[in-house]
Structure 1
Amino acid sequence: MAPLKAPGSDGFHAHFFQSQWDIIGNDICNWVKGVFAGQMIDQDLNNTLVILIPKKECLEDFSQFRPISLCSVLYKLVIKVIANRFKLVFPNIISQEQAGFIASRNIMDNIILAQEVIHSIRCKRNGKNWVAIKLDLEKAYDRVNWEFINAFLMAVGVPEFLRKVIMSAISSSSMQILWNGVPTQKFKPARGIRQGCPLSPYLFVLCMDWLGHLIKSNIDIGRWEPVKLSRSGPAISHLFFADDLVIFCKAHIDQARLLKSILDQFCDVSGHKISTRKSNIYFAKGSSEPCFYLGVPLLHNRVTKSTFSFVVDKVRSKLNSWDARKLPKAGRVTLAKSVLLSIPNYFIQSMLIPKGVCAEIEKMVRRFIWGGSEGQSKLSLVAWDSICQPSSRGGLGIRQLGDQNTSFLMKIGFGLVLKSSDLWVHVLRAKYGWKEQIPDSINRSQCSHLWWSLSKIWPLLRKHLTWAIGDGTRIRCWKDPWVPGIGPLISKIPSFSNLDLDCVVRDLVNSDGCWNLELLRVWLPEYVIKKIISIPPPHLNAGTDKVI
């Protein structure tokens, strides 16, 4: 627990308990054990200060504030124990369409899937028959019904004693609004979960999973038709990231009525309410407006510099609020690294952006570092490439956007190779016919912008991928890279007309479990054989082969 995070109503930081643990540690441990044994959490410990964070500059009503709850350290200690247990089991409980707050899942997983679905329904011959609906829940955390939470905890098999602790923590809470630094009178909520409580994200995700089950049950009985991106791949009907929902269905009146019925049923039971003002509908064909999901454009037209002009505008807007002349050079460098260059990082993780966009942003950052402004340039005394060198080489450690963009895409490519059980990997592999573990190249015909971007960086990524030998049954000995510094062995063979190209590394081992040197010397030069001998031969008990 961070030592100096904002304290609750008792005023004690976590640092106090950490520094005095030798004195109070045993008492706190006994109290925590007592809570899990059935002891109620004290009302004063479950009192919460609520601070209101403005969502925008010109506020008109209270709905434009974001309430953040400041819970006491002892309360969070109990709840953290439960949250850490939930963190371990939720990947096995929550459906793969939900990417929020689940370990090993990432916001980019859903962005990738949404981009591919939009691309597929636009490319379908009957694409006009499909629709994407982006839904927003009004005050999502504040409206959750407590009885619904209890019922769902019971449904997923949470033990009764733990369920009682959770429901006691939720229902026995009291709140005070911190208004201009002064707490208001206490009041007790009748529903909702607190933003700021470590357990709230997990409870919310658990509740949202029921909506996914409702949709899937209608798919199973044939009432809902999801989008199929390929013949063999999984169908996609919905994607959730916490309370950000996007639903895909046929653009038909019957499907619209079914969706309304499902949403009404979900809202009646859970207490949620759909915000029609913030929800959007996107028709696959005939729509020229860009569609955004989780802040990222779902590209479906030709990508140009103007496509990402909003990113350049965000950086420019931030620069306009600063006066470079009043900041020391060290301060300008720190702001450039931690603020300016972090703005585009989120948007460049799932697509290759035009070089002109990178150049425009780096131009503004470079001008700011040297003390210039929008209308007044300053002479750059050091080359930009030198500034972008690591500190150990005399640079300032600034990362070039193009390199960052390539790194993010290589991360996606590496995930395609390794994360075979993830939903987004299933979809991409099936859609584009990815059959080999490490293919030689990527097919670019009729592909999305993401896949086109991956095809651009694939030769560089493939050069750095290699196999670690386990049992030797998955590695193709001639086509796959498994000897460090050599690459595929087929490149070292002058002629391979009589060679079995589909044999595996296990076939290069003799009956004694050692490398078959006679076979290797028939095909390979001596320096390659020496490298192979330095590698332990495959063994049945060594586990499966892995890509590293």
Structure 2
Amino acid sequence: MKASGEDGFLAIFFQQFWHIVGDEVTDYCLGILNRGNCIYGAQSAFVQDKLILDNVLIAYEIFHTFRQKRVGKKGFMELKLDMSKVYDRVEWYFLKVMMLRMGFHTLWVENIMKCVISVSYSVIINGRSGQTFKPTRGIRQGDPLSPSLFLMFSEGLSALIRMALRDGSIKGAKVSRGGLSISHLLFSYDSILFGEASERGAQVLKSILREYERCSGQSANYDKSTVFYSSNTLEESRRVVSNILGVRNSNNMERYLGLPNVVGKNKKAFFQLLKDRMRQQIEN
């Protein structure tokens, strides 16, 4: 008789009574595989049953609320971050630690990391392939495994923001008095952070970004990043917050994930970019 498993039952028990417990065991295992919740809901990139339009609709709804908010002592901000070379800057050690912190088995993590670090490159010069070399960070674009790995990697930023929310250091944005508080919307290279437009709120957001950049190797392109304020935000608060964050002010959120934020009467001008992209793809 073999020793019992971690659940206290022998394999022969399941064989003997499978007609009784089989459906429940199967449903439990499939639930772990197909209905896992290790990725936070603010992430919309590469997540099954989530569309890129989900982030776009939420972001523009909050943007509209900010534009209409003309009363109230507290102003709010919408920080649109442009992340630089997100796949190329993935630190392997940080990725490994994130998977372990999320509860994945050590052996499974080691096997995944073997797939990540086994890559090698060579440069073709004058038609000849040069000597191969191994990188020390980054994940491969086009690899079927890379999107899932990046989701787990970017959970680091989401976790830091959630910790600050629980501590009361920052506050999210609401579109109604009893609505949900939304602090961030993440997409691989284009993310939005929401918060109170105050010196304290800006300092906390900046410290979160610095901590994430230091640990993960990621880098925000602050020259391309912008911040938009609710209409009731004082000019002095806007100046202070923008200086702390190191980004430029914007009176319009411009485009988010390739789509315009407002479509007016002149629809032809707004959708001309989509026509140009389609024409370019057809010509190529």
TM-score (norm 1): 0.40
Determine whether 1:309 maps to 2:256: no
Whole-angstrom CA distance in 1 between matches of 2:60 and 2:178? 19
The C-alpha deviation readout for 1:185-240, integer Å capped at 9, x for no partner, is 21110111111221111111111112111111111111101112223332111001
Q: Which amino acid aligns with 2:257?
A: L
Task: Work out whether residues 174 and 181 of structure 2, in 8 Å CA contact, stay in contact via their aligned partners in 1.
Answer: yes
Determine whether 1:270 maps to 2:216: yes
Task: Work out whether residues 121 and 132 of structure 2, in 8 Å CA contact, stay in contact via their aligned partners in 1.
Answer: yes
Structure 2 residues without counterparts, runs of 5 or longer: 1-29, 233-249
- The residue aligned with 1:250 is 196
Which of residues 37, 42, 47 is equivalent to 1:97? 42
Cα distance change, pair 181–227 in 1 and its aligned pair in 2 (3 A): farther
Q: Which amino acid aligns with 2:258?
A: G
Whole-angstrom CA distance in 2 between matches of 1:108 and 1:317? 18
- The residue aligned with 1:109 is 54
RMSD: 2.7
Q: Which amino acid aligns with 2:53?
A: M
Cα distance change, pair 193–258 in 1 and its aligned pair in 2 (3 A): same
Determine whether 1:293 maps to 2:253: no
- The residue aligned with 1:452 is none
Alignment of 1:292-441 (within 5 A): 292-299=255-262, 303-312=263-272, 314-315=274-275, 339=282
Whole-angstrom CA distance in 2 between matches of 1:98 and 1:203? 13
Q: Helix, strand or coil for the counterpart of 1:227?
A: coil
Q: Helix, strand or coil for the counterpart of 1:110?
A: helix
- The residue aligned with 2:9 is none
- The residue aligned with 2:148 is 202
Q: Which amino acid aligns with 1:101?
A: F
Determine whether 1:166 maps to 2:126: no
- The residue aligned with 1:140 is 86
- The residue aligned with 1:223 is 169
Cα distance change, pair 139–147 in 1 and its aligned pair in 2 (3 A): same
Q: Helix, strand or coil for the counterpart of 1:176?
A: coil
Which of residues 131, 146, 151 is equivalent to 2:77? 131
Determine whether 1:120 maps to 2:65: yes
Q: Helix, strand or coil for the counterpart of 2:84?
A: coil
Shift of 1:317: 8.0
Q: Which amino acid aligns with 1:304?
A: G
Whole-angstrom CA distance in 2 between matches of 1:142 and 1:305? 41
Cα distance change, pair 241–308 in 1 and its aligned pair in 2 (3 A): farther
Whole-angstrom CA distance in 2 between matches of 1:202 and 1:127? 42
Q: Which amino acid aligns with 1:194?
A: R
- The residue aligned with 2:237 is none
Task: Work out whether residues 236 and 248 of structure 1, in 8 Å CA contact, stay in contact via their aligned partners in 2.
Answer: yes
Shift of 1:291: 2.3
Alignment of 1:436-475 (within 5 A): none
Task: Work out whether residues 290 and 298 of structure 1, in 8 Å CA contact, stay in contact via their aligned partners in 2.
Answer: yes
Whole-angstrom CA distance in 1 between matches of 2:141 and 2:188? 13
Whole-angstrom CA distance in 2 between matches of 1:290 and 1:220? 28
The C-alpha deviation readout for 1:95-144, integer Å capped at 9, x for no partner, is 11100001001100100110111112222223981111111222211111
The C-alpha deviation readout for 1:420-455, integer Å capped at 9, x for no partner, is xxxxxxxxxxxxxxxxxxxxxxxxxxxxxxxxxxxx
Whole-angstrom CA distance in 2 between matches of 1:90 and 1:181? 48
Shift of 1:259: 0.7
Whole-angstrom CA distance in 2 between matches of 1:166 and 1:118? 40
- The residue aligned with 2:230 is 284
Task: Work out whether residues 145 and 270 of structure 1, in 8 Å CA contact, stay in contact via their aligned partners in 2.
Answer: yes
Cα distance change, pair 241–127 in 1 and its aligned pair in 2 (3 A): farther
Q: Helix, strand or coil for the counterpart of 2:122?
A: strand
Determine whether 1:176 maps to 2:136: no
- The residue aligned with 2:160 is 214
Whole-angstrom CA distance in 1 between matches of 2:103 and 2:37? 13
Cα distance change, pair 104–178 in 1 and its aligned pair in 2 (3 A): farther
TM-score (norm 2): 0.74
Using the aligned pairs only, state the percent identity.
34
Q: Which amino acid aligns with 1:246?
A: I
Task: Work out whether residues 66 and 229 of structure 2, in 8 Å CA contact, stay in contact via their aligned partners in 1.
Answer: no
Task: Work out whether residues 226 and 235 of structure 1, in 8 Å CA contact, stay in contact via their aligned partners in 2.
Answer: yes
Whole-angstrom CA distance in 1 between matches of 2:86 and 2:151? 11
Query: Higher relative CO (CA 8 A, sep ≥ 6), structure 1 or 2?
Result: 2
The C-alpha deviation readout for 1:10-64, integer Å capped at 9, x for no partner, is xxxxxxxxxxxxxxxxxxxxxxxxxxxxxxxxxxxxxxxxxxxxxxxxxxxxxxx
Whole-angstrom CA distance in 2 between matches of 1:317 and 1:242? 21
